Amino acid sequence: MKKRLIGPVILLAAALGSAACGASTTNSAPEAKPAAAVQQAGLDVSVLRGADMDVEPAATPEALVKSNRHDAIVAGTVDGIEQGRETFDTEADPYALQHVVLRVKVTDKLKAKHANQVKDGFVYVELWQGGRYNDATGTPVNSLDKWRKSIPAGTPVMLFLREDDGKAKSRNAGKGLPQGAKLMIPDVVGIIFEDGGRLLGGIEELEGQWTQIKSMTELRSRVKAAVG
């Protein structure tokens, strides 16, 4: 029997929390969409692009820094991906959102509002795992194994993050986190990878002046100068 997909449209906003807070948005919920493969040498960010987010992205890295909506800005390398929690409106919610936790080894802590947002040299970033099949267990379309293959360990990344506010109802809270670590939520335009010698946006495609940045080294230098 062919599995049908269930896609949490309204609740997807909860998966990204208020990551777009401060950006220009509309009141319409993001629309679930088939994720087109967006791939470079060894990286496939299609797992991150399961929905349209109606945002007006910051025109430059400096503008993103000056928006002042981030608790932490770090650069580092992907260390691994673990299964995370589920979030929902009610316990009976059939469209609970499944998450993964991206673990990043921090090499440059450009900003951290609180010291424990970077735990023992790592940050832990919650990402929506994607749609789920309408089967007995709500099997994720993008398995944990697919996530790990799509975003391999060692991939350079820069992150613009806020700390989770703890307000979401969830099952398995703390799953994927070591004791004492803070769960961090990315800005919609706040995940930038380097792969094959080029930069690649995570949740959102890089556009405009962002495409003129040639390397992570250049991006890090510009962000560091803007942070001051």
CA nearest neighbour of 70 among 18, 132, 138: 18
Is 6 a residue whose pLDDT tops 60? Answer: no
Is 2 a residue whose pLDDT tops 90? Answer: no
3-state secondary structure 147-190: HHHHCCCCCEEEEEEEECCCCCEEECCCCCCCCCCCEEEEEEEE
CB atoms within 10 A of CB 145: 9
pLDDT of residue 207: 92
| pTM of the entire predicted model | 0.82
Is 97 a residue whose pLDDT tops 60? Answer: yes
Contact (Cβ atoms closer than 8 angstroms) between residue 82 and residue 56: no
User: Average per-residue pLDDT in the chain?
Assistant: 84
Give residue 41's pLDDT band: very low, low, confident or very high (50, 70, 90): low
Q: pLDDT of 98-147, one tens digit each?
A: 999 999 999 999 999 998 899 999 999 999 999 989 888 889 999 999 99
Domain spans, the chain: 27-227
Q: pLDDT of 46-76, one tens digit each?
A: 999 977 667 788 999 999 999 999 999 999 9
Q: Which one is predicted more confidently, 194 or 20?
A: 194
CB atoms within 10 A of CB 29: 15
The second-level CATH assignment, the architecture, of 27-227 is Beta Barrel (2.40)
